[in-house]
């Protein structure tokens, strides 16, 4: 065996570029086909990693509890974030409030792997999202339609997720957002080039991004699904609708057997087109989170952000 390092590098390391768009989007590419799980402490993070999560999302309270308890929801305590970082080897994401660039600066200082500028927390700015180009750390943002997705990308988001309606255990909103985004992408690819200017106006999105989507037939960054997923079949559904990975929030730790359910959702996400396998992993998972009808909600988190 040769134990390395054995010699000095000929090239210097100064030619390394960090925090580039490719490096930021690159981590999102690596999460594809996987499940990112909301966790509020180190113990839950460990359960998530053991179940095969590709990343965990650190937050103070899962969305279902934010709905139940009310009040202002903020970035999580740095001590909790660090506890989670120390507990697992997979990437750790954390949420900052919409427009709250100082929370984002704190999360960057904590060296989290991804920041979610999230409508699940109480927005801090009613006009502007964070200027994400100014950060070395990559951002994920929620979107309900293609225009919103492209506006977030123009602000520097390296990953887009549907907003869905977090904390409801109800997948209907995530499906609506996903169908809206992928449906408009399909229409845009067949539009006459002259019509793209009309699309840009209608979507309220920069023309260069509209052109890119029209030519490539996909967003310039990966598209994941979030908001209301609670079962393995929910994951299989949104993956078949074009999501490239899934976020699961309250759905896991508000169920009766989080470890088993988490593992089953991981399997169903990886094998989303294998119904026999989804059936197999869905057996005997215990009680899923109760969930709510969208019409009964006092707060619609998906309406936050613009």
Instruction: Determine the Cα–Cα distance for residues 12 and 183; give it in Å rounded to an integer.
Output: 47
Cα 143 off chain centre by: 10
Q: 178 CB contacts (<8 Å, ≥6 apart)?
A: 162, 223, 225, 238, 241, 242, 243
Check if the beta carbon of residue 88 is closer than 8 Å to that of residue 109: no
Residue 271 binds to another protein (criterion: CB under 8 A): yes
Residue 137 binds to another protein (criterion: CB under 8 A): yes
Residue 17 binds to another protein (criterion: CB under 8 A): yes
Residue 265 binds to another protein (criterion: CB under 8 A): no
Count Cα neighbours of 301 within 13 Å in the Cβ-side half-sphere: 28
Q: Which residue carries 């919103």 as its tokens?
A: 148
Q: Which lies closer to another protein via its Cβ, residue 234 or residue 267?
A: 267
Q: Which lies closer to another protein via its Cβ, residue 23 or residue 297?
A: 23
Stretch that binds another protein, among 7-15, 73-81, 187-195, 288-296 (CB under 8 A): 7-15
Check if the beta carbon of residue 169 is closer than 8 Å to that of residue 251: yes
Stretch that binds another protein, among 67-75, 112-120, 251-259, 291-299 (CB under 8 A): 112-120
Residue 246 binds to another protein (criterion: CB under 8 A): no
User: DSSP secondary-structure letter at 91?
Assistant: -
Instruction: Determine the Cα–Cα distance for residues 218 and 146; give it in Å rounded to an integer.
Output: 11
Of 97, 99, 144, nearest to 121 by C-alpha is: 97
Stretch that binds another protein, among 46-54, 64-72, 200-208, 295-303 (CB under 8 A): 46-54
Q: Which of 37, 53, 150, 160 binds another protein (CB under 8 A)?
A: 53
The residue ranges that bind another protein (CB under 8 A) are 1-20, 22-23, 26-27, 29-34, 49, 51-55, 89-91, 108, 111-114, 136-138, 263, 266-267, 270-271, 274
């Amino acid at each position: 065996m040769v134990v390395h390092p054995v010699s000095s590098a000929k090239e210097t390391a100064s030619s390394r570029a960090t925090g580039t768009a490719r490096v930021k989007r690159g981590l999102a590419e690596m999460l594809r086909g996987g499940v990112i799980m909301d966790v509020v402490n180190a113990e839950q993070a460990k359960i998530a990693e053991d179940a095969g999560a590709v990343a965990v999302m650190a937050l103070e309270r899962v969305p279902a509890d934010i709905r139940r308890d009310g009040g202002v929801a903020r970035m999580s305590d740095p001590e909790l974030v660090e506890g989670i970082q120390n507990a697992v080897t997979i990437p750790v994401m954390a949420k900052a409030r919409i427009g709250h660039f100082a929370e984002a600066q704190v999360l960057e200082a904590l060296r989290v792997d991804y920041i979610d500028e999230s409508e699940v927390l109480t927005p801090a700015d009613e006009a502007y999202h964070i200027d994400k180009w100014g950060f070395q750390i990559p951002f994920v943002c929620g979107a309900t339609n293609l225009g919103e997705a492209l506006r977030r990308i123009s602000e520097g988001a390296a990953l887009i997720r549907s907003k869905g309606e977090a904390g409801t255990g109800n997948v209907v909103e995530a499906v609506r957002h996903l169908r809206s985004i992928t449906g408009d992408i399909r229409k845009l690819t067949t539009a006459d080039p002259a019509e793209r200017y009309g699309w840009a106006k209608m979507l309220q999105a920069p023309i260069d991004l509209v052109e890119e989507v029209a030519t490539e037939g996909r967003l310039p960054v990966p598209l994941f699904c979030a908001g209301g997923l609670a079962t393995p079949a929910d994951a299989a559904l949104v993956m078949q609708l074009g999501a490239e990975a899934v976020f699961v929030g309250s759905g896991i730790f508000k169920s009766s057997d989080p470890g088993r359910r988490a593992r089953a959702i991981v399997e169903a996400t990886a094998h989303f087109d294998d119904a026999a396998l989804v059936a197999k992993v869905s057996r005997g998972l215990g009680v899923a989170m109760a969930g709510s009808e969208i019409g009964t909600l006092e707060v619609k988190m998906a309406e936050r952000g613009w």
